[in-house]
Amino acid sequence: MDFLRIWAVIRRNLWWILGLTLVVMVGTYLYARRLPKIYAATTRMMVPQRGGSSTGAFLPTGGRGDSLMGLAAASIGIQTAGTQDLFLAYLESRTMAEALADHFNLQERFRIKERQDAVNAAMGLGEFIPKKTGTIDIRVESPDPSFAADVANFYADNLDRMNRTFNITDAGRQRRFIEARLVETQRALHEAEEWVRQFDERNKSLIGSAAEGAAQDPSLQSMITFQSKIAEEEARLASLRVYETDENPEVILQRFRVEKLRKQLDEIKYGNSPPIASQRGGNSKSDRSFKVPVADLPVVVREGIRLRRDLKLQEAMFQVLSSQLEQAKIAEARDLPTLQILDRAIPPLRPVKPLVRKIIQYAGLLTFVGACLAAYGWDAIQRAKAQVAAQVATPA
C-alpha cells in the first residue's frame, strides 16, 4: 500500500473530509439530544455471615450436617457458601417480579394489558451485581430518577421480607412450635381460671380450704418442673421430625421420653385415683361445675385444690413458654442472615444514557475514516479511468 499516495489524497480532499465529519457530528449531537434520558439508581447490600451455633442451646444437632457446617464456618470466620447465591436467586425470582409489578402497578405505568407481561417487564428492570467483597449491588435504570431509586430500594426491602419468610432456620422452626404451644397454654389458662371461678361461686364456703390446700400442695413445684421438661422435649421432637421420619431411632427415642414424662406428670397430678370428674363417669368440663352435697365435702375440697393447682400450673407453664419464646426469637435473629443495606438508592441527578459525548466521538471517528477511504477509493477510480483513457489514446 502506498501510504504517501494515501496521504496525498487526504491532503487534497482534507476540507471535504473535515466538512463531512463536522456535519455528521453536528447531526449526531442534535439526534442524541432528542433521545430519552436514562437514570441509574444503585442500592448496595452486604451479605452477612450465617450463624451456626445459636440454636445449640435449644435444638439437637445430631443428624443435621447443615448445622455443623454453619458452626464450622462461623468458627473460622468465613461466610457460609451459598448465601450470596441464595439472595441472587431471590432477586431474580418470579415471586420478586410479581411483588414488584403489584407494588408499582406496572400494568398501568407501562400501559400493559396482561399482568403476565407486566411481570416479565419487571424481571428485566434490575441488574444484580455480586461483588467479591461480599456485597450485592442492585442497579435499576429508568427515565424517571425517582422511580429508579424506589425500585432499587424495594428490591432490598422485599428481599429481606422474602428471606425471613422462606429461609426458616432451626430456631425459626422452634419459635413457631413454641408460639403454637403458647397459644394452647393461654387457652388452657383461661379455662382453668373459668373453672376456679365457677367452683368458687358454687362452693363459697370452701374457698379458703381449697386455696390453702393448693398453696401447701408439695407436688405443685414438681408438676411445674415436669411441664417445663415436657415442653422442651416436645420442641426437640418437633425439630427432629422436620429432618427425620417417625421410624428414625432418634425420633422414636425422643417420643418415648415425652410419653414417659407425661406419665410421670399424670402420676404426680392424680396419684392412684383419677380426678372427681372421671370418678363420676362424666365429662370433666361439665362435672367440675356442679355443686356437691355436704356429705362429699372432703371430695369437693380435694377437687378445689386440684382446680387451683391446675391454674397455678398453667400460669407457670405460660411463663416458661414465654421465656422460651423470647430465647427462640433471639436465636432466630442470630441464625437468620438478615440483610444489611449499606447504601440506599437516591434519585440520581445526572443521566447515564445517552452518552452524548461518546456517541459524537464515535460518529466523528467513523465518519472521518469512512471519508478518507471514500476519497482514496474515488482517487483510485479516477486514476484507473485516466490510465484506460491513456491506453486508448496511444496508437498501437
pLDDT band at 64 (very low <50, low <70, confident <90, very high): very low
Cis status, amide bond into 354, omega within 30 of 0: yes
pLDDT band at 236 (very low <50, low <70, confident <90, very high): confident
> What is the predicted pLDDT for the residue at 170?
62
Nearest to 285 by CA among 194, 223, 207: 194
User: How far apart are the C-alpha atoms of 97 and 119, rounded to whole Å?
Assistant: 6
Q: Tens of pLDDT along 286-326?
A: 444 444 443 444 566 667 667 777 777 777 778 877 887 88
pLDDT average, residue stretch 69-80? 40
pLDDT of 68 higher than 60: no
> What is the predicted pLDDT for the residue at 53?
40
> What is the predicted pLDDT for the residue at 335?
62
pLDDT band at 96 (very low <50, low <70, confident <90, very high): very high
pLDDT of 60 higher than 60: no
> What is the predicted pLDDT for the residue at 355?
83
Q: Are 154 and 96 within 8 A, CB to CB? A: no
Convert 108-134 to b/e letters by CB count within 10 Å (16 or more is b): eeeebeeeeebbebbbebbebeeeeee
Grid cell locating 104: 408499582
Amino acid at 312: K
pLDDT band at 206 (very low <50, low <70, confident <90, very high): low
More confident position, 232 or 34: 34
Q: Tens of pLDDT along 142-173?
A: 999 999 999 999 999 998 888 877 766 566 77
User: How far apart are the C-alpha atoms of 149 and 283, rounded to whole Å?
Assistant: 64
| Percentage of the chain modeled with pLDDT above 70 | 69
Query: Residue 1 burial (CB < 10 Å; 0-12/13-18/19+)?
Result: exposed
User: How far apart are the C-alpha atoms of 371 and 13, rounded to whole Å?
Assistant: 9
pLDDT band at 22 (very low <50, low <70, confident <90, very high): very high
Grid cell locating 230: 415436657
pLDDT of 331 higher than 90: no
> What is the predicted pLDDT for the residue at 36?
86
Residue 88: φ, ψ to 5°: -65, -40
Q: Tens of pLDDT along 265-281?
A: 777 666 544 444 444 44
Least confident of 64-68, 215-219, 390-394: 64-68
Q: Are 292 and 300 within 8 A, CB to CB? A: yes
User: How far apart are the C-alpha atoms of 103 and 223, rounded to whole Å?
Assistant: 52
Q: What does the mean pLDDT of the chain come to?
A: 74
Query: Residue 227 burial (CB < 10 Å; 0-12/13-18/19+)?
Result: buried
> What is the predicted pLDDT for the residue at 298?
57
User: Could you say which DSSP state residue 38 is in?
Assistant: B
Least confident of 190-194, 204-208, 209-213, 343-347: 209-213
pLDDT of 61 higher than 50: no
Helix (H) or strand (E) holding 138, with range, is strand 135-142
pLDDT of 120 higher than 80: yes
Amino acid at 17: I
**CB atoms near residue 199 (< 10 Å):** 23
User: How far apart are the C-alpha atoms of 65 and 82, rounded to whole Å?
Assistant: 15
Distances in Å between the Cα of 312 and the Cα atoms of 100, 224, 247, 300, 306 are: 51, 9, 37, 18, 10
| End-to-end CA gap in the chain | 31
User: How far apart are the C-alpha atoms of 128 and 33, rounded to whole Å?
Assistant: 29
User: How far apart are the C-alpha atoms of 75 and 50, rounded to whole Å?
Assistant: 11
> What is the predicted pLDDT for the residue at 288?
43
Can you give 349-373 as a three-state secondary structure string? CCCCECCHHHHHHHHHHHHHHHHHH
Grid cell locating 246: 417417625
